[in-house]
Every structure is written in structure tokens, then in C-alpha cells.
Structure 1
Amino acid sequence: MNQNVLTQLQENYHHYAQTHSQPNRNIKLPSTLGIERAGDELRLQLSARSVTANMQTDAAAVEAWAFVLRLWLGKESVRRIVVDWEAPPKPHDGHYERFLYRVAQFQSLFPDWFEVADPRKLAMRRTLTEQSLILNVASGKTTSSPKTTSPEYKLESELIASEPFRRHFGLKAGLVDRQFPVGLFANTVSAKTHVFTGGKSAIDIVGLGEDGRFFIFELEAGGNISVGTLSELLLYTGLIREAAQNPPRIRFGSAKLGSRACVHPHHVQHCTGIAAVMLAENLHPLLEHPELLPALNSAAEARWNCVPGAKPVCFSKALIGDFRKTAKANA
């Protein structure tokens, strides 16, 4: 790792924290992320293990690291970021396919400065070569979560029942739900046709706004603070965006919906737009950059929202404590 990059990153963040009366939190970089700097170019190198890791881990969140590194080091200082990686032994590993999709989606947002060292590595991804991509749906009977004691489950349950939460985002009553499936398959939903990792991938919280927008909430509970929060939000936004566009590039499976589900595929298909929200009790310090949301939204407007048939995407972030304070104040 280039120690100078880490030193400059820490100095720039600490200056921001001091001038904005923020806690001076420790800044670290993943030890498995190779970083080399040459002039105004930054090169990121990932191992085969990193590209097949869970994207919730910082080691795998390459697009999030690329984004925050450029913001905190300065756009004039870093004019280009080139990413490269070691291909895994199994080229169609579900985690790896998801990684390739994420890289391609991020490159579509920021083609002016984010590059892949060897574009051929993206050319054979299944999300590009498969003719029919399918998202699974919440089918069958819904039972209680096996992790009902986990902080994430408790927080999800609290928020979907929270009136202050619903009012803050302008969500329709009865149309807020948790664990909206986004397992990706080829042609049909089955154990043998998954493109990503199985069929259990899900968005933490979703809802339909009074204005018709489809809300995606990527939730981080307690001390689970990760730069990968942004990677997850970008992934889910990309999938929902491609399912919502007209005509859709990704379709929903035809299985019968489960009895608990109150937010359905047709809410995605007929939405007026997509609101993608980072929601946490605490955010990773590098996600606090004041230009993070403007840069995301400017890119979405320029690269995604202008595509014929696209539903407009807008990014935002919020802290959970705000809703709890509102609830206590109104009690």
C-alpha cells in the first residue's frame, strides 16, 4: 500500500473533522487493497479472494473505496482511478459475477475517471451475456426470521413500524417492508440458474413514496460501520433501476407472492423514480464527505436518468437517531 496515500487521506479527513466540529475518528484502509499512485493516477489492485468476498466487507468494496479516495484526496489531485484484479479459479462464482456487475455499474456512472485495466475481464460477465435476467420474489409462506435477536432484524422491524420514519420520507402507510428479494437468475428461478450468490439476497427496507417513488434503504445497525454500505446501495439501486426501466432489462420471477409481502414487483415496475438511501446509526467517517451525495446525484442525472425509459435515481443519507428524537419529541 502507498503510505503517502493513507497519510494524506488521514490529514484531509482530520482537517475536515476539526473544521466541522466532528469527532476525530481513526481512518484505515483495507490491508488487502493494493494502492499505488503515479502522478494524478491511482491504481487499485484486488486479489482473487477479495473479488469473491462478501461485499459488506471493506476489502471487496472497490467502487466505494475508489469513490471516497477521489473525494478525500481531491478531484484535481486524482484525475483517474484504474482498477485491476486477479480473476478467481471459478470464473462464474456468484460473488465474482456480482463484483463484475458492480464494477460495470459504477463505470457507467463515472466513465470519465474510473477505468478497468483490462476491459476484457468485464466482457464475459453473465449480466451482459445472458439473454433473460430474472429477480426472485418473496414467495410462499413467510415465517419469523431465524435471527430475531440480531440488531439488524430488530432495527428493521422498528423502522417499518415507525410513524416518524414513514413521515420523514413521505412513505405510504402499509407500503413499507423489509427484506425485499434481489436474487438474480438466468431465464428461470432455480437452484441451478443463479447468477449471483443464491436467492437470499435482499434489500433491508423498501417502501413506496406518496410521490410514487420506490425507496431503497441500505441499513447499518449499531457499530456495523463500513464503506461497503455504499457498495451495497449502488448494487441494489442498479438492479432495481434495470427492473424499473421501460422496457425492463431485468424482470421479476412469476412465483406467487408470499402472504407477508406488502411491497410487490409492480410497485417497482410502475414507480415514478428511485430513491436510494444510506440509513445508519453511524456512518463510516469517509462517507461524511460533503460532496459525496452531490457527486452521486450529478452522475446519476448525467449518465443514468437521461437514458430513454429510465426512472430517475436520487441518492440521500440519514441517521436513525433523527427519527427517534422526533418520536420522543412528539410523545
Structure 2
Amino acid sequence: MKILVTGAAGFIGANVCARLLNNGDSVVGIDNLNDYYDVTLKEARLKPLLQCDSFHFRTIDISDSSAVAKLFEEQQFDRVIHLAAQAGVRYSLSNPLSYAQSNLLGHLNILEGCRHTKVKHLVYASSSSVYGLNDKTPFSTSDSVDHPVSLYAATKKSNELMSHSYSHLYGIPTTGLRFFTVYGPWGRPDMALFKFTKNILAGEPIDIYNNGEMQRDFTYIDDIVEGIIRIADVVPQGNDEWRVETGSPATSSAPYRVYNLGNGNPVKLMDYITSLEKALGIEAIKNFMPMQPGDVYKTYADTQDLFTATGYKPVVSVDEGVKAFVDWYLSYYQH
């Protein structure tokens, strides 16, 4: 198949491209290569992909409506895996307009492209952050997600709503995946694992928010990629029997679905740090700090729906995943 991957130079995007190419698909990757973090890391992720004849890369910003429309018209994709977005909860507090551009206008442009070229399935990145003020765990896609605590989360919830409207109006099959704290080799420098590793190696303290009283459903990159690839083959169907009053918000009378994609096993932040200290062989200097605006205390995915749909459950433990990241980091940065 011919598949568009947006955010192809990103952490998840580059790994998805590699997997699709390995499966024999033809992949067009787009990315705007912005400087939200180190562009050379993005280029390094792209380098092995560019060696493959079945991979074609374009530098396109998804908020550029005419460029996105032209790409869809020229290429006629079978499927779209839409991973491009302005990421980060804390950055959304200081740079809100960039989230409107990428996550709202950008998502709309992708939906329009799918609509006009009759794409057979759109799979897009949502986020566990949509659960916001929810206290009930594990987080289930049948839960209400109407109380986000960051603009980033609000844009991801908006993506789900926008997708539903296009599924309803135009019959476009759409699947949203709520990712839970993705980590692993080639990860983003703004993520905790990257920052912790960098500081520990430099002998500098690491900032630990809410005095370490946090839990995250850390999900290894290979498990995320496996979930994306499998769900791309599960094209949602509309259900005429579905009703708002009695049905789950994760499905619809339209060809629309939302799934959690997480490990399903929350880990205490301090245990995560212990795994990192063990992998590095260095004890961290810890700087305990208060809770940050926009953060949540605990994330925990109910992944039963995904397992029912794909037969897959994440398998990589935090100890394994953190060690794999450290091995990559030491090699890449030549420590």
C-alpha cells in the first residue's frame, strides 16, 4: 500500500516508517523539521529511511493547507498515519499558538486531504493527557474526557471530535490512539528520560516534580509501533445500533474508533529513576520540586479494547526499555 506518515522525522514517526518499509509498503513521509528540539536528531532518524527506494520524504508543514492538499491530490494514499503535532504539555503553557497551528489547523488539513481523496483509513495520534482530571483508574475509553488540564490535551481531544465529525459526514474511517508516555531509543530530548540521562551523566541534579509522587504508564517505542501497525489493519465500521445515550464514546454510528495504547502497568516515577540509575551505574542527584501546572498524578491505560481488536498487548518492561534507551544514548552521544 501507499501510506502517508506525518511527523516522519519524529520519535514515533521514524520508527513507524521503518516498520512499514520493512513490511513492504511504499511510504511518503512529511515533516516540517522545526527547531522545537535538536534538528540534527530528526535528520539522523531520517538518514536510514532515505536509503530505502520505497521511502520518499517531503519537508511540509501540515498547517500549510495548499501544500497538504497538493500532496494528497498528487499521491492518492491508501492510508494515512498522522503523527505530526506540536508535542509537550509544559511548552503549551508558554507557546499556545503553535498548538493551534499544528494540532488544530494541521489536523483539519489532514482530514480534508483524506476526505477529498477518499483515503481508506486515517490513524492519528491522540494522547493519554485527554483524561485530565479523571481520578478513576485504569483510564478507559468509555470514560468522559471533557476536563483537560493543559491546552495540549485540549487540542488532542479536539482532534478526536474533528475526526468524528468527518467520519460522520463523509464516511472516512478514523482511528485515534491515546498514547501513554512513550520512551525508548531515539526519543525526544524534552522527555524526562532524555533529560534525566543527560543530567546524571553531567553530574547535575535532576528535577523531580510533585516530590516524586507520580505514576506513569511508560510504554516502550516498539510496543507503540506494533500497536499502530496492527490497528491500521482494523478499519472501523459504523454501527447503526449505536446510540449516544447507551454507547461508548470510543465508538459511534460512524466509522470511528478510539483506543488506548499503553503498557497497562503504571510505574512509580522513583522506580523509573532507579531503573535509569541501574542502567547508567550512577546515582542521580535529586532535586524534588512541586507539581507543575498541566501535569497529572497518575496515568494508567485500560488496553482491553486494543487487545480485543488486535490480539496484542505491550510486552517490554521498564527495566528492559530504559536499558535499551541508555545503550542507544551512550552510543549516539559517544559517552
TM-score higher than 0.5: no
TM-score by length of 1: 0.25
- Structure 1 or 2: more helix by fraction: 2
- Structure 1 or 2: more strand by fraction: 1
